[in-house]
Structure 1
Amino acid sequence: MAADSEKYWYNLTTGQVERGFASPAVDRAGPFDTEEEAAHAPQLLKERSRAWAEDDARENDWGSGNSEK
Structure 2
Amino acid sequence: MPYWYNVDTGQVETDDTRSQDANVLGPYDSQEAAGRALETAREKTEQWDAEDREWDEKGSTPAG
Kindly provide the CA deviation profile for residues 30-58 of structure 1, in whole angstroms up to 9, marking residues without a partner as x.
Answer: 00011011001111000000000000010
Q: TM-score, normalised by structure 1?
A: 0.74
Normalized against structure 2, the TM-score is what? Answer: 0.79
Gaps of 5+ in 2: none
RMSD: 2.5
Q: Which has the higher helix share?
A: 2
Structure 1 unaligned regions, length at least 5: 1-5
| Aligned length, in residue pairs | 60
Where do 4+ consecutive residues of structure 1 move more than 4 Å?
none
> What percentage of residue pairs aligned between the two structures are identical?
31
